Amino acid sequence: MFAKPAGTTRARPAGTGRAPRVRLAGLDADTFRHPLDLQATSNLKRVPGFDKAVAKFIEWGVERVEYVEHTASGVRVGDRQLPRVHRLLREACAVLDIPEPELFVRQGPMNAYTSGHNHPYVVLFTELIDIMSEDELLGVISHEAGHIKCGHVLYKTMARVFGGAASVGMGRANVMTAAVGIGIRVALKSWDRASEFTADRAAMLATQDLDACVGMMMKLAGGVRSDQMSTAAFLEQARRLDDLASESKISRFHRFQLRVGSSHPLVVERARHFHEWITSGQPGDLIDRYGAAVIPIQPVVGPDGRY
């Protein structure tokens, strides 16, 4: 069922050249949750004061403020607004077996995120939409839907905003409170990176195409929409990073600095994780276990290649 890497990104016409995607009815999020996500979640919940920080964050209503901002300044996707993107959202939710969240498109950099613990919604920025192929954009949307599927949304929103007003508010009382705030921020950042690997697995399960998932990472890294980019070469680049780390302590330390200094795992390592996971056979096992009716594929890219 999973399409293997062809060595280049999608050069075929939209909606052709692949088997229909299978809906994963009753899919249990814990069956594909990444071990690093499980460990980081456990560590996060053990941080002193974390439960109180969660309660205070909800009390502040940050998520509602963001929702109002997107309603005021973005475009809400639907049958009459960017219907091609909306069909990809519906397909992702159908495959992963989750209710359809709201989706907003906003002008901005190559990025996407999910917010809204009680009423989830996804935000896509225009540069990301413009650069991705159909299958790759499905991967992006499915990645965000994976955060919803796995119950990541509240912690993801906290991780995104906690370093600003939240940390200031917690740090005003005393030194001990400030120390607790720092501990929570560090733990949230570590968990945030780990959760991305789980959401990447959701993207793999939804696209059911390794080439699309690796291509998505390659586009995020290179920022170029081109049919002259090779997913196979990008996977070789990921292996080269490991070789560099094994060749010298300086390279290994610098890779560590890059990892801990980023809000997301390194893109080439995410690409490698896609390959390793499909090689493990687990995605195919989940298809066999939960597979139900196929999802018909419809062309979603206009004649000019834009959404």
Q: At what angle do helices 210-222 and 175-207 cross, to 10 degrees?
A: 130
For the stretch 219-224, contacts whose Cβ atoms lie closer than 8 Å and that sit 24 or more positions apart, written own/partner, are 219/9, 219/110, 219/131, 219/132, 219/136, 220/110, 220/267, 221/267, 221/268, 223/110, 223/131, 224/131
SS3 21: strand
- CA dist., res. 57 & res. 60, Å (int): 5
Beta bridge partners of 112: 124
- CA dist., res. 145 & res. 206, Å (int): 10
Q: Is the dihedral of CA 52, 66, 64, 105 positive or negative?
A: negative
Residues 6 or more apart from 22 whose CB is under 8 A from it?
1, 95, 208, 287, 291, 292, 293, 294, 295
CB atoms within 10 A of CB 182: 13
What is the per-residue burial (b if ≥16 Cβ within 10 Å, else e) of 68-103?
A: eebeeebbebeeeebebbbbbbebbbbbbbbeebbb
SS3 102: strand
The DSSP line for 216-231 is HHHHHHH----TT--H
What are the Cα distances from residue 53, in Å, to 40, 56, 130, 190? 17, 5, 38, 17
Are 191 and 43 in contact, with CB atoms under 8 Å apart?
Answer: yes
Whether 102 sits among the annotated catalytic residues: the reply is no
Catalytic residue among 144, 196, 236, 276: 144
The catalytic residues are 144
